[in-house]
Structure 1
Amino acid sequence: MLSMSNVPTDTGERILRAAASCVVDFGVDRVTLAEIARRAGVSRPTVYRRWPDTRSIMSALLTNHIKDVLNEVPLDGDDREALVRQVVAVADRLRRDDLIMSVMHSELARVYLTERLGTSQLFLIEGLASRLEVAQRNGSVRSGNPRQLATMVLLIAQSTIQSVDIVNPILDTQALAAELTHSLNGYLS
C-alpha cells in the first residue's frame, strides 16, 4: 500500500520517503542512515540536521504514515458505531500496508509492543480519547476515563494488526474485521 505517486518536494519529505522505501526493501532493523541519504539524494549531514539518528527518522516516518492512513479513513459520525467503523477500517488498511507490516517484523515493533508507547501510538490514543468523549456525551459509549478506554481500543486493534498472519487460517480478513467490530462495540457499549 506504500504509494510512490506523490513526488515529495521538501527535503524532509524526500528523506522520509527514502526511509520508507528502505524499510520495505530491507526491513527496519537493516535500514542505515547512509542508505536513506543516498536514496533521498542528500548528504548524511543534511539528514542529521533534521533527525539525530535512524530511530528518530523511523519515529517520524511511522507517525506521518499513521496520520496519512487516518486521513484516508475519515470519521463519518460522532457515535460509537462510526468510531468503531473507523478503527476497524484503519486496522484493515494497516494490516495490508507494506511499511507497517515490515515494521511489525522488526525489533522496533517489539519495543513499541512490549516496552513503551511510541509517538504514533500516543497520537492515536489522544485522537481516540477526544472522539470517545464526544460519543460518551451523546450516550453511545459507556462511562469511563476516555484516555483509558482509548488505550484499550488501541491495544485491541493493534493486536489484530500484529497477529493477522498467525490467525489467518481461522479468521480471514472479513472475519477478523467482523470480530474486531463485535469486540469494540461490546467493549464500548
Structure 2
Amino acid sequence: MTSLRNNPSDDARDAYLDAARACILDVGWRRTTLTEVARRAGVSRMTIYRSWSDMQTLLGDLMTREWTGVVQAALADQDPARSAVDRLVAGIVGTVRVLRDNELFVRIIELDPELVLPYVLHRRGRSQDLILALTDEAIRAAQASGEVRAGSSVAIARGLLLAAHGFVLSAHTMVDDEVTEPELDAELAALLTRSLAP
C-alpha cells in the first residue's frame, strides 16, 4: 500500500524521491528534513507533507523504489537458456552485488545503519516482500520442471533471502588479504546452488 495519499503523477513522485535521495547522499537521513526535500524538489513544504507525513514514511517509499530498481537491474540480463537454478543463483548473487555497491545503501550503512535494523530484526519491508514473491515464483516454476528440490517454496525463498542478508550486510567484515569479495560471492553461489539442487 502506498503512502502517497494525493497520488501525484509518477514524474512528480520520482522528482520528490530524487530530491530526498540527493539530501540523504549529501547529509544523511538524520539531517534530512521534509522541508529540505521540498526545497530541493522546488515545491512547497505542504506539497511534500501532503504526500508524506514524516521522513520515515518517505524513506520507506524511497527504499522500496531504490531496492526494486536494484532487483530489476540484477535480473535484466538473465539468459533464458540457462538452467532455472543458474538463473535463480545468478539473480540472487547479482542482487547482492548491486545492492552492496548501491550508493544510497552504502551511505545509509555508513551514516545511519540503524535504519536497516528494523528490516533485519523486526519485520520485512515492501522490497523484501517483492524479492520473496519473485523468488517464490521462480522456485515453484523450477520445482514443477524438477530442477529445484521439493519443499515449501515460501520457506526455501525465505531461507535464501536470509542467507543473502549476511552477504549484503557483513561481507566487508570477511574481506581481507586472504579472501576477496568475488571469492565470497562465489561461495554464496555455491551455497545457493547446493541448497536448491534436487
TM-score of the pair, normalised by structure 2 = 0.85
State the AA in 1 paired with 2:57: S
Cα deviation, residue 146, structure 1? 1.1
Partner of 1:5: none
For 2:91 and 2:172, the matched residues in 1 are separated by 22
Would the aligned equivalents of 1:95 and 1:161 in 2 still touch at CA under 8 Å? yes
Query: Which structure is larger by alpha-carbon Rg, 1 or 2?
Result: 2
For 1:139 and 1:29, the matched residues in 2 are separated by 49
Partner of 2:12: 11
Partner of 1:76: 79
Q: Any idea what SS the aligned residue of 1:30 has?
A: coil
Cα deviation, residue 30, structure 1? 2.9
Please provide the CA RMSD for this pair. 1.7
> For residues 171 and 95 of structure 1, do their structure 2 counterparts lie closer, same or farther at Cα, with a shift above 3 Å needed?
farther
Give deviations 1:46-79, integer Å, cap 9, x for gaps.
1122222211111111111122122222233361
Q: Does 1:66 align with 2:67?
A: yes
Higher relative contact order (CA 8 A, sep 6+): 1
Q: Does 1:164 align with 2:165?
A: no
For 2:93 and 2:46, the matched residues in 1 are separated by 41
For 2:179 and 2:40, the matched residues in 1 are separated by 38
State the AA in 1 paired with 2:184: L
State the AA in 1 paired with 2:72: N
Percent identity between the two aligned chains: 32
Aligned residues: 181
The partner residue of 2:161 within 126, 130, 154 is 154
Cα deviation, residue 137, structure 1? 1.0
Would the aligned equivalents of 1:79 and 1:138 in 2 still touch at CA under 8 Å? no
State the AA in 2 paired with 1:72: A
Structure 1: gaps of 5 or more residues:
1-8
Which stretches of structure 1, 4 residues or more, deviate above 3 A after TM superposition?
A: none
For 1:162 and 1:29, the matched residues in 2 are separated by 20
Structure 1 segment 58-137 matched on structure 2, within 5 A: 58-73=59-74, 74=76, 75-77=78-80, 79-105=84-110, 106-137=113-144
Would the aligned equivalents of 1:125 and 1:150 in 2 still touch at CA under 8 Å? yes
